[in-house]
């Protein structure tokens, strides 16, 4: 289905509210705000906005560039998000806040990213239960840890963070099963996966050293 360009949607000088000097249509502005609010826009959760984005991609991309932001679109997965543009030596203000991941958050992200790749290879939906996640993350509890309840609390917090970021989407009709969002393939490229794997290796080496000293 073909949609008209922004210029065809809006009459020159048309206003959506008093003193409005914007040029985007109402729907295009909704797309713009969704991209800024994040964490991402996808066809499953925002079917109407997705089609508006594709129709007005050039205009929206231009507006984001004025804020030193890049628009990243995966047309195959039908997912889009924004990230800070690489302005090299140019000293530009940073609009997007970076999310600092805890160790357990990082472990969970890499685990989900690896599972996503495995399911993609098999041509299946990446689905996982909360119990399976907990079983995987509990492996990273330090041997000398005496606060097991606190560690389990951190695991539950990492799972909740993944749900809030829409990395894990609850499957309707299931008590504790989630689908892993394909956005992880865009957020964690080869460099990021390598960095997280190095984090794993560092943890494992520290554990071996602690056991040796004990």
What does the pLDDT look like over 159-175, one tens digit per residue?
998 998 888 988 988 88
pLDDT, average across residues 80-104: 76
Q: How buried is residue 130: exposed, middle or buried, by Cβ count under 10 Å (0-12/13-18/19+)?
A: middle
* 120 and 57 part of one domain: no
Query: Which structural domain, as residue segments, surrounds residue 209?
Result: 103-213
Residue 40: closest CA among 98, 81, 85 = 81
Over residues 104-129, the pLDDT tens digits come to 888 888 889 888 888 888 888 899 99
Q: What is the reported pLDDT for 4?
A: 44
Q: What is the reported pLDDT for 166?
A: 85
Over residues 37-46, the pLDDT tens digits come to 877 898 888 8
* 44 and 131 part of one domain: no
Q: What is the reported pLDDT for 96?
A: 61
Whether the CB-CB separation of 129 and 79 falls below 8 Å is answered with no
Q: Which helix (H) or strand (E) holds 177?
A: strand 177-180
Q: Is residue 40 part of a domain?
A: yes
Q: Is residue 12 part of a domain?
A: yes
Residue 81: closest CA among 114, 32, 26 = 32
117-123: long-range contacts at Cβ-Cβ below 8 A with a sequence spacing of 24 or more? 117/185, 119/180, 120/185
Q: What is the pTM of this model?
A: 0.63
Tokens linked to 157: 């917090």
Mean pLDDT for the chain overall: 80
- Domain count across the chain: 2
Q: Which of 65-79, 171-185, 190-204 has the lowest mean pLDDT?
A: 190-204
* 150 and 195 part of one domain: yes
Q: What is the reported pLDDT for 87?
A: 81
Tokens linked to 105: 């958050």
**pLDDT band with cut points at 50, 70 and 90 for residue 97:** low
**pLDDT band with cut points at 50, 70 and 90 for residue 50:** very high
pLDDT at 207 over 80: no
The sheet carrying 41-42 orders its strands as 41-42, 79-84, 69-74
* 79 and 109 part of one domain: no
Q: What Cα–Cα distance (Å) separates residue 164 from each residue in 6, 56, 87, 160, 168?
A: 32, 28, 30, 6, 8
Q: Is residue 89 part of a domain?
A: no
Query: What CATH code is carried by the domain that includes residue 25?
Result: 3.90.1150
Of 4 and 89, more confident: 89
Q: Where are the alpha helices (DSSP H) in 123-189?
A: 130-137, 148-164, 183-187
């Amino acid at each position: 289905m073909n949609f008209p360009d922004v210029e065809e949607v809006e009459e020159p000088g048309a206003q959506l509210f008093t003193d409005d000097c914007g040029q985007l249509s109402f729907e295009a502005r909704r797309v713009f705000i969704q991209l800024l609010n994040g964490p991402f826009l996808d066809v499953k959760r925002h079917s109407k906005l997705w089609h508006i984005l594709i129709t007005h991609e050039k205009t929206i991309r231009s507006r984001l560039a004025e804020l030193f932001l890049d628009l990243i679109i995966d047309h195959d997965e039908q997912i889009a998000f924004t990230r800070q543009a690489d302005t090299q030596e140019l000293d530009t203000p940073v609009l997007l806040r970076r999310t600092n991941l805890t160790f357990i958050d990082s472990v969970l992200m890499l685990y989900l990213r690896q599972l996503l790749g495995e399911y993609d290879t098999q041509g299946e939906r990446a689905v996982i239960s909360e119990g399976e996640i907990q079983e995987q993350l509990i492996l990273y509890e330090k041997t000398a840890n005496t606060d097991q309840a606190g560690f389990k609390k951190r695991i539950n917090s990492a799972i909740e963070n993944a749900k809030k970021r829409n990395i894990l989407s609850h499957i309707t009709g299931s008590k504790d099963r989630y689908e892993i969002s394909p956005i992880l393939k865009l957020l964690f490229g080869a460099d990021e996966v390598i960095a997280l794997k190095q984090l794993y290796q560092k943890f494992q080496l520290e554990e071996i050293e602690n056991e040796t000293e004990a």
